[in-house]
Amino acid sequence: MTMVAILSGAGISTDSGIPDYRGPHGVWTRDPAAEKLATYEHYMADADIRRRAWRVRLDGPVLRAEPNAAHRAVAALDRTPGVAVRVLTQNVDGLHQIAGLPGRKVLELHGSARSVVCTGCHARSSMAAALDRVRAGEDDPKCPECGGILKSATVMFGQRLDPVVLGEAMGIAKAAEVFIAVGTSLKVQPAASLAGVAAEHGARLIIVNAEPTPYDALADEIVREPIGTALPALLERLR
């Protein structure tokens, strides 16, 4: 059994209509102020930022997005005899699972935009239900359980990654025989360090990304072609 670990970033989902954040045409590149919407301190302290964040979620592409060829290729690799696939994703869109990869094989390092969580009592509920409340006129919906501030169940700037999830991801990186970093700038820590951990433990490191990354020097192979065609071709070769 060959263990293939795939670290996926925003670039794998751009073909699904979800823009990346830090690329040349990324959300935060074009509008640096938008980063405040994803910063815990600003979000908690400023009701205007929360109201803007809810409007962005309402109009955002994530819940409408469908998996693309790259997501489907990862799911197909998982169905290949003799290959064990684990996905460590920096994305919050849930598209790997919708494409058919079992949820137990996906570690969402930065959480999920398909759920909301109360910052007070930590109750979780669906994003779709919260957005229905916004459409009905609540511009900053509160937790129905305790009245606390609701946020998407994603890891914002200023919040720590779940140490259990990060520990599992480190274990997968150390055990992988092939480690593919796809569509990620490899600049956001600690997720980016997984590529280095995998290389240090003997994995064949393959980087599929349009721009250079800090880990290129460690890579056995670098692919600069568009992800929607390059990743399916690469995974077919692995199969």
Beta-carbon-side half-sphere exposure of residue 105 (alpha carbons within 13 Å): 22
Per-residue confidence (pLDDT) for residue 28, from 0 to 100: 54
Give 172-218 pLDDT, tens digit per residue: 999 999 999 999 999 988 999 999 999 999 999 999 999 999 999 99
Amino acid identity, residue 115? Answer: S
Q: How far apart are the first and last CA of the chain?
A: 12
Per-residue confidence (pLDDT) for residue 34, from 0 to 100: 72
Per-residue confidence (pLDDT) for residue 188, from 0 to 100: 86
What length is written for the chain? 239
List 42, 71, 96, 110, catalytic entry = 110
Per-residue confidence (pLDDT) for residue 22, from 0 to 100: 59
For the record, the structure tokens of 34 come out as 């938008």
Per-residue confidence (pLDDT) for residue 60, from 0 to 100: 85
CA atoms of 232 and 62, how far apart (whole Å) = 22
CA distances to 33, 39, 52, 56 from 49, rounded to whole Å, are: 10, 10, 5, 10
CA atoms of 35 and 32, how far apart (whole Å) = 6
Residues of the chain with pLDDT under 50: none
* Known catalytic membership, residue 110: yes
**pTM for the full predicted model:** 0.90
Domains of the chain listed by start with CATH number: 1-18+66-110+160-239 (3.40.50.1220), 23-60+111-154 (3.30.1600.10)
Per-residue confidence (pLDDT) for residue 36, from 0 to 100: 83
CA atoms of 20 and 168, how far apart (whole Å) = 25
Per-residue confidence (pLDDT) for residue 215, from 0 to 100: 97
The answer to whether 106 and 90 are in contact (CB under 8 A) is: no
- b vs e for 108-119, b when ≥16 Cβ sit within 10 Å of the residue's Cβ? bbbbbbbbbbbe
Helices 47-59 and 127-135: crossing angle, nearest 10°?
100
Per-residue confidence (pLDDT) for residue 27, from 0 to 100: 57
